[in-house]
A and B are shown apart, each in its own frame.
With several copies, the nearest count.
Chain A
Amino acid sequence: MKAIVTVMLKDGVLDPQGKAIGHALHVQGFGEVQEVRAGRVIELDIDARDREAAAARVDEMARKLLANQVIESFKVEIV
């Protein structure tokens, strides 16, 4: 099974990277861009009985390791 974990900074936490990307897009003529947020994505291949089991395990991985919950939030998708 394949899982996709998307990790973004929590709302309100400064996102220097997103800010810089937004700025660069503007300079390059993409004036229609408003807010930009940058995050990480981690794709995992994983052995699991079923989707629920996989989701539960990946959720645990994200909590323990993949996301820094002090400043980040995450989302798990099983595909």
Chain B
Amino acid sequence: MTARTVDAALAREFGLSNEEYERVLAIMGRTPSLTELGIFSVMWSEHCSYKSSRVWLKTLPTTAPWVIHGPGENAGVVDIGRGLAAIFKMESHNHPSFIEPYQGAATGVGGILRDVFTMGARPVANLNALRFGSPENPVTRRIVDGVVRGIGGYGNCVGVPTVGGEINFHPSFDGNPLVNAMTVGIARTDRIFLSAAAGIGNPVVYVGSRTGRDGIHGATMASAEFGADAEAKRPTVQVGDPFVEKLLIEACLELMATDAIVAIQDMGAAGLTSSSVEMAGKGGVGIELDLDHVPQRERGMTAYEMMLSESQERMLIVIRPDREDVARAIFDKWELDFAVIGHITETGHIVVKHRGVVEADIPLDPLAEQAPLYRRPLGDRVVPEPLGRVHDPIGTEAALLRLIGSPDIASRAWVWNQYDSTVGGRTVRRPGAADAAVVVVSEDDAGFDSTLALALTTDCTPRYVQACARTGGAQAVAEAYRNLCAVGATPLAVTDNLNFGNPERPEIMRQFADAIEGMGVACRALDFPVVSGNVSLYNETKNPDGTTTAILPTPAIGGLGVLEDANRAVGLSLAPGLSLVLIGETAGALGQSLWLREVLGQEEGAPPPLDLAAERRHGAFVRDQIAAGRIAASHDLADGGLLVAIAEMAMAGRTGVALDTPPSGLPPYGWWFGEDQARYLLGTAEPDALLAAAASAGVPARIIGHADGSDGLTLPEGVTISLARLRAAHDRFFPALMDA
């Protein structure tokens, strides 16, 4: 490596364009050293610089009275009352998870945990949004297996419960699965830690695992599409050590209870480089590192290797000089490496020394300010053709059985049964029990009687985004909002993970811009700001014939809401005697519906239209009715429509349901399987009061059946579909795919 001369060709290998390299030369006024080139290339990679996405991200709404820190910090911070804050973010580990599914997913979980506890929060919940290729593709099974084991292997060991998430299958993810991991933590609002370095002369401390040659150039890899050389990029895979992460969490939280910390930042993508550059840059100071003091796992590492290593489970901390002993004692107790590797300077430069030689000396301001920023060309906006006439070839019963067992709807128990969802003693609603997971928060770790709770969800419907990115982007936000309302929570804020193809292709950039526009519109309409997020571009696979396949655009939304009293949280389980009330308007929207895809084999039409005012009104109504104690079961309507939701509620509650005749004017398949938005299905023992309240709130509501305690769903025409059959169909998919 060291033998290479630094020139434009090498810069290109490092992912810098000629023009970007020219800019490096101008900033440096000389040919950069290899280490300097490495630093520029990772800091200016898509992953770290957001060069293609920044102009669009800036359009998102990020503020509200309850937002304490929006985008720009390691994670978003919102006030949840009682002096507490929820800190949360979602992050992708897509490319690593294709190369090595177990370690890719595991280190994804580890990375997002660090983004959250680095701000002072104890992580209390993990979620994950996963997209896999076609179940028919033989590779899919290996990837699902590795990813699920990796998420469980890491999350279970660190002792953070995995409480929710989502999974889709689609051939566009065959060569490029999506693994988006979300962590939520709790901190006191007066003890939130930021990354801006300060205090000339203050020591810079390295803690955690030692540095090896792992993942060098991971950040640039995450910013490149996969071609035939994916194989060659393999040695960059990192291995996670969840045990060390657990120790790191405890040690950092213990240190955070003292007054030793000036600034703290995890070493994520681009490790020591991005953490030191960002800490100094944000603080408007300089930083000097002496790499001789970096704890090293391997012999003979160069400055370049150490600066770019992505070894996991490491943190960088600026501490008060008079607290060094306190800090060291804590890390000794937890048996973690602790080393002073540098100090804060007033130079405004990052200076990296190794064996007495200055290996890098870069002015920080230009490195940040002159980072490339692209307003990439946009293709034409795609306007989907409305769905033409369809016919129903199989009837309601057969369609329900097919849908309930289809890959995007089938029971995910096989997956969540491998995730520890109860550790910590906070989980009020486990996976599968409600539309959103619910975890109770306590003011201190032993404050056993708090009933304040968080509701958490992740949502996106990529096929909608593919058909119409604006509607799809907005719909993802609306669905997250709905899932939170459905348990009775007040939605507060979202994190996002924007997974798209190659931004240099105008049609992809158009998807990206439109999806963000849609998200922004929905977030504004619902008072649901974006407080953190992550962008993952170049999610494409090069085909042997030279063409590329882009993933379905997937702006995954992680939603967070708050419930004053966890005892009020509503799940989806029906009980005999309850009436089923449908909230919202049903027009029978079948464009891009799962019914269309699974029954007719078509992915066509426009996604269901959104009415954000109705979303807001209906959501508020559902929350109010839950708060009034009128609702015993609740479920939002999404994939698969009304009848799928009814079946899910019936199976969860082990009770049959007798269904009323649909309104006239709609074909039965439109009524039962349409995916119209802003709808909820509520189980209530007080249907009259509920209908009266709906009427006065101007919310469409209608009784559609009642839970009769029988062992099947009885359709209006008299056909009964037994719960046993439904359950068998629902439970079959994952075990058949994975355990065969």
Interface segment among B159-167, B239-247, B322-330, B429-437: the answer is B239-247
| Bound CA–CA A23/B336 (angstroms) | 12
Instruction: Say whether B99 contacts A70, CB under 8 Å.
Output: yes
Of the candidates B209, B239, B335, the one whose C-beta lies within 8 Å of that of A71 is B239
> Are A70 and B237 closer than 8 Å at their CB atoms?
yes
Contact of A14 among B100, B234, B239, B335 (CB under 8 A): B239
Is residue A31 contacting chain B, with contact meaning CB distance below 8 A? no
* CB contact under 8 A between A70 and B100, given known A14-B212, A14-B238: yes
A21 at the interface (CB under 8 A from B): no
The interface residues of chain B lying within 8 Å CB-to-CB of A9 are: 239
* Interface membership of B298, Cβ < 8 A: yes
| Residue numbers in A under 8 Å from B241 (CB-CB) | 14, 16, 19
Bound form: Cα–Cα A12–B298 in Å: 7
Residue from B100, B237, B239 within 8 A of A16 (CB atoms): B239
Q: How far is the CA of A9 from the CA of B100 in the complex (A)?
A: 14
Instruction: Kindly supply a per-residue 1/0 record for chain A positions 62-75, scoring 1 wherever the CB is within 8 Å of any chain B CB and 0 otherwise.
Output: 00000010110000
Given that A16-B244, A20-B243, A23-B335 are contacting pairs, would A71 and B212 also be in contact in the complex, using a CB cutoff of 8 Å? Answer: no
Q: Could you tell me which residues of chain A, from 21 to 79, have a CB within 8 Å of some CB in chain B?
A: 23, 68, 70-71
Question: Quick check: B100 and A12 within 8 Å, CB to CB?
Answer: no
Please give me the residue from chain B that is nearest to A68 by CB atom: B100
Q: Out of A14, A20, A23, A68, which one reaches B297, CB within 8 Å?
A: A14
Given the contacts A71-B237, A71-B239, A12 and B99 also touching, CB distance less than 8 Å: no
Interface size on A, residues (CB 8 A): 12
Chain A residues lying within 8 Å of B297, measured Cβ to Cβ, are 14
Point out the residues of chain A lying under 8 angstroms from B240, CB to CB. 16
B236 → chain A, closest Cβ, in Å? 10
Complex CA gap A16/B100 in Å reads 17
Residues of B within 8 A of A68 (CB): 100
Chain A residues near B564: list those with CB within 8 A.
Answer: none
CA distance A33 to B385 in the complex (A): 57
By a CB distance below 8 angstroms, the chain A residues around B623 are none
B536 within 8 A of A: no
CA distance A16 to B245 in the complex (A): 11
The smallest C-beta distance from B139 to any residue of chain A, in angstroms, reads: 14
CB neighbours (8 Å) of A19 from chain B are 241
| Shortest Cβ distance from residue A40 to the other chain B in the assembled complex, whole angstroms | 14
Bitwise interface map of B from 307 to 346 toward A, beta carbon under 8 Å scored 1, else 0? 0000110000000000000000000000100000000000
Chain B contacts for A23, CB-based, 8 A: 335
Q: Is B616 in contact with chain A by the CB < 8 A criterion?
A: no
A12 contacts B237, CB within 8 Å? Answer: no
CA distance A15 to B244 in the complex (A): 12
Closest to B242 in A: A16
Knowing A70-B99, A70-B237, A71-B103, say if A12 contacts B213 (CB, 8 Å). yes
Beyond the given pairs A14-B239, A14-B241, A14-B312, 15 more chain A to chain B contacts, judged by CB atoms under 8 angstroms and listed by A's residue number, are A9-B239, A12-B212, A12-B213, A12-B214, A13-B237, A13-B239, A14-B212, A15-B239, A16-B239, A16-B241, A16-B243, A68-B100, A70-B234, A70-B237, A71-B103
